[in-house]
Amino acid sequence: MEVLHVSDGVVLTQRKFAQDLIQEYKCDSLPSTTCPMRIPPTAAGSSALLADPSVYRRLVGKLNYLTNTRPDLSYLV
Q: Which pTM value belongs to this model?
A: 0.63
Strand, coil or helix: 15: helix
Q: Is residue 48 part of a domain?
A: no
Looking at residue 57, its pLDDT comes to 92
Helix 15-24 vs helix 53-69: angle between axes, to the nearest 10 degrees?
Answer: 160
Domain of residue 6 covers 1-30
**How far is the C-alpha of 30 from the C-alpha of 6, rounded, in Å?**
33
Looking at residue 46, its pLDDT comes to 59
Looking at residue 23, its pLDDT comes to 92
Q: What percent of the chain has pLDDT over 70?
A: 81
Share of the chain residues as helix, strand and coil, in percent rounded to the nearest 5: 45, 15, 40
Strand, coil or helix: 10: strand
User: What are the phi and psi torsion angles at 26 (to 5°)?
Assistant: 55, 40
Work out how many domains the chain is built from and give that number: 1
